[in-house]
């Protein structure tokens, strides 16, 4: 049986596979989203980051869940969005230092990304911010 899952990576403009990953979930320009099935990237799309001001980082979490995202891969975020993602059933993985969004997706497909942990959280003045 083949499993397919919708995966999102915070990205810098213009988004897409050749874009650079954004260092912080809530402050990214947009999200590159791909359906991952049998180790392949299908249906690649770019989704806007609809807000960080009103409602904080919870707004983009709700937006991603509403389009069916099941996995989010980020290099940094605060405690509130991480907890919201877990409460809404998102799997959150950590990725930092990758040159392109495509490299992040490949690392995901290869099973090389750890679960996002408390040591990966930003705590004000976060060094992950760009």
- Residue 77 falls inside a structural domain: no
- Residue 49 falls inside a structural domain: yes
- Residue 22 falls inside a structural domain: yes
Q: Which pLDDT does position 22 carry in this prediction?
A: 93
Mean pLDDT of 91-97: 95
Mean pLDDT of 64-85: 92
Domain total for the chain? 1
Q: Is the pLDDT of residue 114 over 90?
A: yes
Comparison of pLDDT for 53 and 13, the residue scoring more: 13
Provide the domain limits for residue 16: 4-58+83-117
- Residue 32 falls inside a structural domain: yes
CATH value at residue 100: 3.30.420.130
Q: Is the pLDDT of residue 99 over 90?
A: yes
Instruction: Give dist(CA 128, CA 130) in Å, integer.
Output: 6
- Residue 109 falls inside a structural domain: yes
Q: Provide the pairing of β-strand 71-74 with 4-11.
A: parallel
Q: Which pLDDT does position 47 carry in this prediction?
A: 94
Q: Which pLDDT does position 2 carry in this prediction?
A: 65
């Amino acid at each position: 049986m083949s499993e397919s899952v919708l995966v999102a990576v915070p990205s810098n403009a213009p988004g897409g596979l050749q874009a650079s990953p954004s260092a912080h979930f809530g402050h990214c320009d947009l999200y590159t989203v791909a359906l991952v099935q049998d180790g392949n990237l299908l249906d690649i799309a770019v989704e806007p980051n609809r807000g960080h001001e009103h409602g904080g980082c919870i707004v983009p979490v709700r937006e991603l869940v509403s389009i069916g995202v099941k996995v989010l891969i980020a290099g940094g975020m605060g405690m509130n969005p991480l907890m919201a993602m877990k409460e809404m059933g998102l799997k959150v993985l950590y990725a930092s230092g990758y040159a392109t969004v495509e490299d992040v997706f490949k690392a995901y497909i290869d099973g090389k990304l750890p679960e996002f942990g408390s040591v990966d959280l930003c705590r004000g003045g976060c060094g992950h911010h760009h």
